């Protein structure tokens, strides 16, 4: 590969109009350190942790602020898991953002995910500059971020691999670090020396003092072809397995479904371990460039990070939802419904959801993942789902349950419908609270209005639809010996579920 010019702005300015910039959002992961808000089937990137919009929605808008003459692709390219596909698509649709969504059939970390995205880009005859962003980060100054990306893209156009480094403001032990070398030119880029694993506190303090170690933001800018070259050079098994999986992909509604068997056979590795950490090696075909990012960046990885980002009262307290403080300081209270009363608390995070409550010392919030691991080992449902579960047709909220029965509140979006299905182990009673329901039960179809009800016997084929223009809300009472969500036999489904 040809070496870039010493002033990448000069060479890049000639190709601004021919090389597009493509947002690539990696939206996998479960965010275990932000439990109980973040769950496996509704992870942190889909939650409005800092405002009304989710982290994913904020990420999808991030390149809108680029103001120079560079061509930025209208759509965003997203790689996510099967379980999150409908919520991801709906969140992007709701903000008017067009998207291409690649579905991973299994978790294989970020290197195979990015390889799939790069293959999708070059297949379209485009060698775009990819701005690779995790879906779960926060940026305070979006204009400054866009300016930094535009500057970094100049290096990427010239064939460099660019990573954005954040000059540390504190000795944080939760971040990986990048050792930066000499400054390349007036563009602000530094030559990469090497990556450093998450340090202990003493080492992190020395990094803050020396000024040569920056936080690794996990945001990378490079051409699609350059990534494919590097993954083939450093991790040929990942490259080959990803190519086979992509060749076996199929379009499914608005999604591109990667070949399952081929992708499952792919080795699992991160972008950092697979490629980026090797760029400082003598034998590397490309050397890395680190560009400083000064925009109020946070990886939103734990509750203390959320507390740091939110406005506080005079005593350092943050209240979200129904929360009160008396004699408290540096306390973060987040309520999803119930009142949280904090008296004399100090340096605590208190997070309430309908089915779980977390109380943690702010200095120990990194250990939340240990609790999540224990709940998962005990097969507790609080790891996978919230009480309120989103579906492509709307959502349901499990209000109450005990041996032999379960009560759900079901909301169906206008024009949406559930699958045609039956259950082996349960019967159901439906009561319409608001809106209109179109019910299919066996060979008959009929409408139900407010305060009307019907009964679905065990083993009876049935379907629920909302033919109206307002949400349909109803109460479902299930009765039977087994009430698990896997007791569904689908005969027909609008959303392609099996």
Q: Same domain for 318 and 466?
A: no
Q: Which of 301, 321, 343 is the last residue of a domain?
A: 301
Q: Same domain for 363 and 463?
A: no
pLDDT tens-digit series, residues 35-46:
999 999 899 999
Structure confidence at residue 302 (pLDDT): 92
Question: pTM for the full model?
Answer: 0.86
Q: How many CA atoms lie within 13 A of 61 on its CB side?
A: 18
Q: Which of 234, 266, 301 is the last residue of a domain?
A: 301
| Best CA proximity match to 186, nearest among 381, 362, 28, 10 | 10
Q: Same domain for 86 and 117?
A: yes
Q: Same domain for 284 and 354?
A: no
Between CA 65 and CA 149 the distance in angstroms is 10
Q: Same domain for 208 and 356?
A: no
CATH number for the domain harbouring residue 142: 3.90.550.10
Question: What's the total number of domains in the chain?
Answer: 3
Between CA 312 and CA 131 the distance in angstroms is 33
CA distances from 6 to 11, 62, 286 (A): 9, 28, 15
Residue 480 lies in a domain: yes
Q: Same domain for 373 and 392?
A: no
Q: Same domain for 395 and 429?
A: yes
pLDDT tens-digit series, residues 16-66:
445 689 999 999 877 789 999 999 989 999 999 998 899 999 999 998 888
Q: Same domain for 347 and 423?
A: no
Q: Same domain for 38 and 135?
A: yes
Q: Same domain for 370 and 399?
A: no
pLDDT tens-digit series, residues 395-439:
999 999 888 999 999 999 999 999 999 999 999 999 999 999 999
Tokens of 460: 């009876």
User: Whose structure tokens read 């579906």?
Assistant: 391
Other CB atoms within 10 Å distance of the CB of residue 403? 6
Residue 317 lies in a domain: yes
Domain span including residue 289: 8-301
Q: Same domain for 109 and 232?
A: yes
pLDDT tens-digit series, residues 434-445:
999 999 999 999
Q: What are 489-493's contacts with CB under 8 Å, separation 24+?
A: 489/421, 489/422, 489/423, 489/424, 490/419, 490/420, 490/421, 491/419, 491/420, 491/421, 491/422, 491/461, 492/419, 492/420, 492/463, 493/419, 493/420
């Amino acid at each position: 590969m040809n070496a870039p010019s010493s002033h990448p702005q000069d060479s890049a300015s000639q190709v601004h109009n021919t090389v597009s910039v493509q947002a690539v959002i990696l939206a996998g992961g479960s965010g275990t350190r932000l439990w109980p808000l973040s769950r496996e089937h509704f992870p942190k990137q889909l939650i409005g942790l800092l405002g009304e919009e989710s982290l994913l929605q904020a990420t999808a808008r991030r390149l809108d602020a680029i103001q120079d003459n560079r061509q930025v692709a209208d759509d965003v390219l997203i790689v996510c898991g099967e379980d999150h596909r409908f919520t991801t698509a709906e969140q992007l649709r709701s903000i008017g953002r067009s998207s291409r969504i690649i579905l991973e059939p299994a978790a294989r970390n970020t290197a195979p995910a990015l390889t799939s995205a790069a293959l999708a880009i070059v297949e379209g005859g485009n060698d775009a500059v990819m701005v690779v962003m995790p879906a779960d980060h926060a940026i305070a100054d979006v204009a400054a971020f866009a300016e930094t990306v535009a500057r970094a893209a100049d290096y990427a156009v010239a064939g460099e691999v660019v990573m954005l480094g954040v000059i540390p403001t504190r000795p944080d032990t939760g971040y990986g670090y990048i050792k930066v070398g000499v400054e390349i030119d007036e563009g602000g880029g530094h030559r990469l020396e090497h990556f450093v694993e998450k340090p202990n506190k003493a080492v992190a303090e020395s990094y803050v003092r020396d000024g040569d170690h920056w936080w690794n933001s996990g945001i990378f800018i490079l051409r699609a072809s350059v990534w494919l070259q590097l993954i083939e050079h450093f991790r040929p098994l990942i490259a080959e397995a990803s190519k086979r999986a992509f060749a076996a992909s199929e379009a499914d509604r608005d999604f591109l479904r990667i070949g399952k068997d081929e992708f499952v056979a792919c080795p699992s590795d991160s972008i950092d371990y697979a490629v980026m950490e090797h760029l400082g090696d003598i034998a590397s075909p490309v050397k890395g460039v680190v560009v400083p990012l000064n925009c109020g960046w946070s990886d939103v990885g734990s509750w203390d990070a959320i507390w740091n980002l939110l406005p506080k009262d005079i005593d350092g307290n943050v209240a979200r939802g129904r929360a009160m403080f008396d004699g408290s300081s540096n306390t973060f209270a987040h309520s999803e419904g119930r009142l949280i009363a904090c008296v004399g608390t100090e340096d605590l995070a208190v997070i309430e959801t309908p089915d779980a409550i977390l109380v943690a010392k702010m200095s120990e919030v990194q250990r939340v993942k240990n609790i999540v691991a224990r709940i998962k080992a005990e097969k507790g449902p609080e790891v996978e789902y919230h009480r309120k579960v989103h579906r492509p047709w709307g959502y349901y909220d499990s209000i109450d349950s005990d041996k032999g029965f379960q009560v759900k509140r079901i909301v169906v979006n206008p024009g949406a419908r559930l699958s045609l299905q039956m259950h082996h182990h349960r019967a159901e009673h439906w009561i319409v609270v608001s809106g209109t329901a179109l019910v299919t039960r066996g060979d008959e179809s009929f409408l139900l209005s407010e305060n009307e009800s019907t009964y679905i016997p065990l083993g009876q084929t049935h379907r629920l639809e909302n033919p109206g223009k307002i949400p349909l809300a109803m109460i479902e009472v299930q009765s039977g010996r087994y009430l698990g969500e896997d007791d569904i036999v689908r005969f027909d489904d609008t959303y392609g579920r099996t």
